[in-house]
Amino acid sequence: MFLIVAAILFLWAGKRFITTPRIGRVIYGPKGKARNLKTVIVLAISVLVGLVAFVIAALSAKGSLPQSLPAELLLPGIWVGNMLVVFSLAAYFLHFDRLYLIGVMFAICVPLDIVLKELLHLDLTFVAFGVPAMVILIIGGIVLARFLRKYSRPTEESI
């Protein structure tokens, strides 16, 4: 929970102290508003898929899930499908090609964790989630450095 709060604060601070002072606020036209609405709808559907996965996991933990639905395969499958669909649609609607790669990186975490546990009989969850996360953070750092180089902070005279 701490990491979620820290991430939200980090995003807010980045927008408040880095992005807005350099390029101002964006006012979307009709096309931009439509793209954002489509993205919100996709994310809402993703939340519903997540709730379905939670119900499946809860039923599986109680032993109420039918044997024909193996939760150990179903839940990772839902994860991969949801991540690929959500990130792909968001990338398409927002015209943000990097999201395709980020979606694949998010999608491989859970199956990679399962494969590492089965093959090596070790709990390498930190590797399965850490390596894709580090790649995403490195990409983000490069993008941030380019942004800071391209858009310098406005001086008092230019305001």
Write the pLDDT tens digit of every residue in 4-53: 888 889 889 988 888 888 888 888 899 989 988 988 898 899 889 888 88
Q: Does some domain include residue 66?
A: yes
Contact criterion met (CB below 8 Å) for 121 and 109: no
Neighbours of 82 (CB within 10 A): 21
- Inter-residue contact 52 to 78 (CB < 8 Å): yes
Q: Please state, in angstroms and rounded to a whole number, the distance separating the CA atoms of residues 48 and 70.
A: 20
Per the structure, how many domains does the chain have?
1
Q: What is the DSSP letter of 154?
A: P
Asked if residue 107 is part of any domain, the answer here is: yes
Asked if residue 19 is part of any domain, the answer here is no
More confident residue, 104 or 90: 104
pLDDT at 153: 76
Which residues are CB-contacts of 94 (< 8 A; sequence separation ≥ 6)?
Answer: 35, 39
Report the pLDDT value the prediction gives residue 156, as an integer from 0 to 100.
67
Residue 15 per-residue DSSP state: I
Angstrom CA distances, 85 to 3, 37, 42, 49, 139, stand at: 25, 16, 9, 11, 21
Is residue 20 included in any domain, yes or no? no
pLDDT at 134 over 90: yes
- Residue 5 belongs to a domain: no
pLDDT of residue 72: 78
Q: Are 152 and 22 in contact (CB under 8 A)?
A: yes
Instruction: Please indicate, yes or no, if residue 84 is contained in any of the structural domains.
Output: yes
DSSP-assigned states of every residue in 106-123 = HHHHHHHHHHHHHHH-S-
Question: 155 lies in a domain?
Answer: no
Q: Which two tokens mark 81?
A: 């499908």
**pLDDT value of residue 149:** 92
Reported as half-sphere exposure (CB side, CA atoms, 13 A), residue 81 has a value of 10
Mean pLDDT to the nearest integer, 63-82: 80
pTM, two decimals, is 0.72
Query: How far apart are the C-alpha atoms of 85 and 77, rounded to whole Å?
Result: 12
Domain that holds residue 48: 31-150
In the DSSP assignment, the letter for residue 153 is: P
